Structure 1
C-alpha cells in the first residue's frame, strides 16, 4: 500500500508541481495587483455634473423608445461623451436612449467610442484599436451585456473598453495592471486557456487540475508523516531520510502541507464545482420593489429632481430610479459616491429610508414568512469590505445596513442599504458555506487579520513562500526523476546493443 502512495504522489507531483508553483507565485502578485476592473469610484469620477435645464425627455418617452418589454430592471441617467443618456438594463441586455432627443441609440461606432473615451481620459492622444468580443482583460462575464467592446489606447499606456450598446467606458486596464497580470491573475486563473479552442473546457480543466492537486498534496502529507522519524532518528541523526532538495520538500511539506491543501481546495471551491453552492430553491426577491419600474410611478421630471437635489449641495452626476415596496425614489449620486434620496411623489431629499419601510418591503418577498431583522453598525464575518483591487473589492459595503433573515427552505439572508434602498447581497445556506470554504480558506478574509494588514500580509507571505519552497523543490525532484529515467533507459539500450550476439559468417 505504501508503494502505491509513493507512486501516486510522485507522478502527480511530476505533472502538477510546476503548475502549483506558478499558482503560489501568481497568488502573491494578486495580493497587491488585481485583475483590471472599472470601480464605482473611477466610473463616477469621470462623469459630468448633470444639467438642471434642457436636459432630458420624460421617462414616459424614454422607456417606449427602448423597444423592450417588460419594464427594465434598472434605470440610470448618466453622461456619455458629454451628453445626457438614459441607460436601461433589461437583464441580459442594455439599451441606451438619448436623453435630449428621446431617440434609441442603435449601436456605438468608432467616433462615438472616441468621444466617450475623451470624457473619461481628458486631454491627450487616443488611438482606436478596433472592436473585440473578448480579450485577455475582458473575460469577466459581467461584460457580456456590453459586447462587443471598442478598445482605445491612451498615451499613458492605459486601455479603455467602451460598450457598443451604451457608449459607456466599462473597463480600464493600465499598463502597470496588464504587466503584473501576466504573472498575476491571468496566470493564476489559468486564463491562457480562455478565448481559444479550449475555452469551452476551461472550467472543467481548472476544476480537475485543482482536484488532482488537492489529492497530490494530501498524499504528500501522508507520505511525509510515514517517512518522518518521530521516536528515533535515522543513522545520520536526522529525522528525515532525505538530503538537499528532497529534504526541503519533505520538511516544507510537513510545515506547509495543510496550508497548501487549504489553498488548493478553496481554489477548487471558487469554481463552484458541479454547482455545489447553487441553491435548489432560490429566493425570488423581485417582489421587493413592489411593482415595475414604470413611468407612472415616477411623475417627477428628471430635471426637477436634479435641480432639487443640487439645491442641497449635492453635485449630481448620476440619477437612479428606485422602487422600494411600491414607493418610488430618485437617487442622486455625486462624484465621491455620496447620495441623497428624493421621493418621486414629491417631498424633501432624505439621506436614508426608515428601517420599518425596508422591513415592510422585505416582507413582500415572503408575505407569510417569519423575518428576523438585524441592524449592522459594524462589519462581521459575512459582511465586510475588501481592498479595491481584490476580486470583490469594487462592491460597495456601506454601514449601517439591514440584515433580514428569511425562513425559506434555503434560509436566505438579505442585506439592504437604507441610504439607497438597494439590495446589496443575498446569502443562502450554500453561499454561506462558500464563504467558509472559499473566502476564508483562500483569501483569509477574517476581520482580525484584514483590519490589521501587517498581520494579514505576513500570514499570506509566510504561506505563499512556504508553498513556493514546497512546489519548486518538488519540480526539481520531478525533473531529476524524469531525467534519470531517460538516462537509465538510454543506458539499457546501449548495453543491449553491446551484448547483442552477432551470428558467424558462413561461406
Structure 2
C-alpha cells in the first residue's frame, strides 16, 4: 500500500507538473518584471500635475449658478472644478443618488458625473474625437503631436474595473519621448489613463501575463477568476506532492552509490530535485498568496455594515447661492491651484484647493477664509461612523504593518497615504479600524479582521510588504530576486523534464 501511494504521488506530480511548471516559470519571471514596472495607471499625483492651473478664475461661474444652468438640483455627493475636459474649466458634479456605495471616501470618477462648462453653464452631452484630442493636448503640453486612434471598450491596458464608468475610451497616441498612449473618458472628457511605450512593452512580460489577462476582455472573461483560482489550486497540489517526493527521494543519512544524496544522474533531474528542496516552500507560499489575492469565492467578505459617513459629514453636500465664486477662492490661495473640490465635513461646506503637489488648502466655502477642523470635534464625529463602541482612537505619525505606502507602479501603490492620521478602533464584531485624515476630515479607508488576514495572506506573503524590508532597499529587491531565480530554475527544469517525458509517451503510442 505504501509503494502504491508513492507511485500515485509520483504520477500526480509528474503530470500536473507538465502544465503547472510552465505557469510557475511565467509567474516567477513576470513577478520580477512587476517589481519595477506595474500595470498602467494614472495616479492622483500624475493627474494633478498634468492639469492646467485654474489661474485667477476670472469669468468662471459660481457653483450654484453653474448647477442651475445645467439643471442639476438637490444635494450632491461630490463637486469638483478643474481644467480637465479639453483644457477647459468644468464643474464635475455627482448627484447624491449616483455613484458608488456608501462608506467610500470618493465616488468612482465617471459614475453618474454631470460635466458642466464653468463659463457657460452648458452641460456636456457627449465626448467626441475633437474634445478627446483637446484633452490629450492639454495633458501633453505644447508642441507634442497627437494621433487619434479611435475608441475601445477594453484592451490590454484598460482591464481595471475602475474604468468601467468611462467606457468606451478614446485613445490618443502622443508623439512625445515616451510614445505615451492616452485614454480619455467618453463621459467626462478627462484623461483617465496613460501608458508610455516602455510600460506597455514591459507589461506583456509583466502584469499582463502575470494576471493571465489574455483571458480578459474576450469570450473567457466571465471565467477569468475561475481559471486563475483553479490553476493556482492545481499548482499548489503539484508543488506539495513534489515536496513530498523530493524529501522521500533524498538520502539524509547514507548517500546513494554515486556518492550523491539525490538518486538522479541526469543534470535536469538533479537540478530539479535540489532546487525543489531549496525553493519548494517559497513556491508554495507564492502560489497560495497569489490565490488569496483573488479573494477566491469571497472568503474574505464578512458582510460588515457600511460606514455612516453622514456622521462625519454632518449632512449632504448642498451648494447654495452663498457659496463663493472660484475667483474669490483662488485669490485666497495665493498659488497655482489645479482643482477645487467642495466637501461636507462636520456640518460645514469646505473647499479643498489642491495644487500640483502637497496637501490641499482648506477654505470656507462662503467666506473663502482659511479653515482648520477642531481635532476633538473630528474625533467625536469619527467615533459615530459605526453604531458600536470605540475601543480607542490612535494618532499615527508613522507607517505600520496595516497603513503604509508602496511605490506608485505597484498594485496597491499610487493612493494618497498622508501622515499623521487618526485610527479609530471600534469594538464591533468585525474589529473594524477606520483611518481618518485629520487635515481634510476624509475617511482614508477601513480595515477589519478579515481584511487584515487578507493583508497577511496576500500582501505579506506575496509582495513581502514588511516595513523592515521595504525600508531597506535594495535588500528587499535582492531577497525577492534570489528567491524568484530559484523558483524559475525549479520551474524551467520541471518544464524540460515534463516535455521530455511527454515526448517519450507520444513516441511509445505511435
Please report the TM-score for the alignment, with normalisation by the length of structure 1: 0.92
Q: Are 1:227 and 2:246 counterparts?
A: no
Q: Are 1:323 and 2:347 counterparts?
A: no
- Aligned match of 1:337 in 350, 358, 376? 358
Match of 2:202 in 1: 180
Cα distance in 1 between the residues matched to 2:18 and 2:73: 56
Match of 2:441 in 1: 421
Match of 1:405 in 2: 425
How far the C-alpha of 1:237 sits from its partner, in A, is 1.2
Cα distance in 2 between the residues matched to 1:76 and 1:377: 29
How far the C-alpha of 1:446 sits from its partner, in A, is 0.4
Cα distance in 2 between the residues matched to 1:69 and 1:187: 46
Question: How do residues 146-157 of structure 1 correspond to structure 2 at under 5 angstroms?
Answer: 146-156=166-176, 157=179
Maintained 8 Å contact 2:346/2:378: yes
Match of 2:328 in 1: 304
- The one-character-per-residue Cα deviations of 1:180-205 (angstroms, maximum 9, x if unpaired) are 00111001010111111111111111
- Aligned match of 1:456 in 445, 470, 476? 476
Q: 1:14 to 1:215 in 2, by over 3 A?
A: same
Q: Are 1:57 and 2:61 counterparts?
A: yes
Higher relative contact order (CA 8 A, sep 6+): 2
Question: Tell me, which stretches of 5 or more residues in structure 1 are unaligned?
Answer: 491-507
- The one-character-per-residue Cα deviations of 1:84-127 (angstroms, maximum 9, x if unpaired) are 11112431322211111122111110111111100111222100
Question: How do residues 471-486 of structure 1 correspond to structure 2 at under 5 angstroms?
Answer: 471-486=491-506
Cα distance in 2 between the residues matched to 1:182 and 1:119: 29
How far the C-alpha of 1:68 sits from its partner, in A, is 6.5
- Aligned match of 1:76 in 72, 75, 80? 80
Question: How do residues 99-248 of structure 1 correspond to structure 2 at under 5 angstroms?
Answer: 99-122=118-141, 123-156=143-176, 157-243=179-265, 244-248=267-271
Larger radius of gyration: 1
- Aligned match of 1:388 in 408, 413, 426? 408
Aligned residue pairs total 486
Match of 1:365 in 2: 385
Maintained 8 Å contact 1:325/1:364: no
Match of 1:47 in 2: 51
- Aligned match of 1:35 in 36, 39, 46? 39
Maintained 8 Å contact 1:109/1:164: yes
CA RMSD of aligned residues (A): 1.8
Please report the TM-score for the alignment, with normalisation by the length of structure 2: 0.92
Cα distance in 2 between the residues matched to 1:427 and 1:398: 17
Match of 1:356 in 2: 376
Q: Are 1:291 and 2:315 counterparts?
A: yes
- The one-character-per-residue Cα deviations of 1:23-42 (angstroms, maximum 9, x if unpaired) are 11100111110111111221
How far the C-alpha of 1:303 sits from its partner, in A, is 2.5
Q: Greater CA deviation, 481-490 or 253-262?
A: 481-490
Maintained 8 Å contact 1:94/1:145: no
Maintained 8 Å contact 2:81/2:91: yes
